[in-house]
Amino acid sequence: MQRTEFDLSLKNDSSPPAGSSLAVAALWWLCNSNWEKAHDLIDREPGIDLAWIHAFLHRMEGDQANASYWYARSGRQNPGTTIGKELEQLLSYFLG
């Protein structure tokens, strides 16, 4: 899925497009102000990419200790940028 499709879906759909990856679906719910749904999707899923999203979600909620744990699992460090900039990095990474 490309970014333009993702953005259109955010405006027009009530759920992520069919066939979305778990990462894209979690980001879709997050961008639709549903942190809980995004977290529930990835909470017990393996993989370093999903760990990055998991870290970001905990950073957003202000749980820095939990975020640090998930950043370590993802092989990344807290970028030290704004939440908005990191969200853009995530969207660029997962949507190309």
Q: Kindly report, residue by residue over 30-45, the tens digit of the pLDDT.
A: 999 999 999 999 999 9
Going by pLDDT thresholds of 50, 70 and 90, the confidence category of residue 96 is confident
Domain limits for position 79: 3-95
Burial class (CB in 10 A: 0-12, 13-18, 19+), 56: buried
Give the start-end residues of each E strand in 1-96: none
- Give yes or no for a contact between 73 and 51, defined as CB atoms under 8 angstroms apart: yes
Q: How many domains does the chain have?
A: 1
The reported pTM is 0.94
Q: Kindly report, residue by residue over 62-83, the tens digit of the pLDDT.
A: 999 999 999 999 999 999 999 9
